Amino acid sequence: MATPSQTPQELPAITTQALAASLKAQALLLQPNPRLDAAEANCKKHNIPSISVSPLQGQFLALLCRMSNAKSVLEIGTLGGYSTIWFAESVPGVKVTSIEFSAKHRDIALENTKGLENVEIRLGKAAEVMRELKAEGQVYDFVFIDANWDQQAEYFDLAVAMTRPGGSVYVDNVVRNLLDVEEEEGDRADWSLVDFVKGDGRVRATVIPTLSTHKVRVEEMVDGFLLAVVR
């Protein structure tokens, strides 16, 4: 997660104003959280990439879990455990399972979530671990997909199969993925997730565009997530 002081230059005025207002609102709305601050500092110390959710997004995810009284959360992509902490502290009694394939990231996440008895981090490739969890009969109230854009549709398919009726699947960076087209001739936007969800009668879904307060590059600030509720 980049710090707000790194706000990009050369933004349209309305965007700069929106960011300033959002950062002010963030300072007013978010409570201090020493564990999150320590996790962020530890990630920085160990050169973990600044690609975690922003504080306001973490709060939003936690509120979604609170609104749905989620007791079981599955996260795809742990990194240093920043979003994992938001989930772990979202609802009394919630249990969080997070999947990460980098041993280094997993180790830092274990440090950052130490003492949180409701967090389990599984090391491995997301699709393989998801199949293991499915075979174990695990069922989730909320699934957060935040890794490996190339397999968003596959993760979504598995996630829906493991989510209870009325539960939700949240896929991050969906709009960024749609915009991530190289200049090369023939390169096309990857609509595979949206195409898959369009034909998936198990869910009702929406895509919400977002403007991140915590990205350094202008093109990374404009993003959006997909939220699906299982019928």
Ligand X SMILES: C[S@@+](CC[C@H](N)C(=O)[O-])C[C@H]1O[C@@H](n2cnc3c(N)ncnc32)[C@H](O)[C@@H]1O
Smallest gap from Cβ 63 to ligand X, in A, equals: 16
Q: Residue 164 in contact with residue 203, Cβ under 8 Å? A: no
105 forms part of the interface with ligand X (CB under 6 A)? yes
125 forms part of the interface with ligand X (CB under 6 A)? yes
Per-residue DSSP letter, 139: -
**29-48: which residues touch ligand X (CB under 6 A)?**
none
User: Distance between terminal CA atoms of the chain?
Assistant: 34
3-class SS of residue 202: coil
Q: In the numeric block, which tokens belong to residue 76?
A: 């795809």
Q: In the numeric block, which tokens belong to residue 43?
A: 């990630």
Question: Do the strands 140-145 and 119-123 form a parallel or antiparallel pair, or are they unpaired?
Answer: unpaired
**108 vs 228, beta carbon nearer ligand X:** 108
Please select the residue that binds ligand X; options are 121, 126, 133, 226, rule is CB under 6 A: 126
- Cα gap 231→215, rounded to integer Å: 34
Please select the residue that binds ligand X; options are 56, 147, 153, 162, rule is CB under 6 A: 147
Please select the residue that binds ligand X; options are 15, 138, 148, 192, rule is CB under 6 A: 148
79 forms part of the interface with ligand X (CB under 6 A)? yes
Q: Which residues bind ligand X (CB under 6 A)?
A: 51-53, 77-79, 82-83, 99-102, 105, 125-126, 146-148
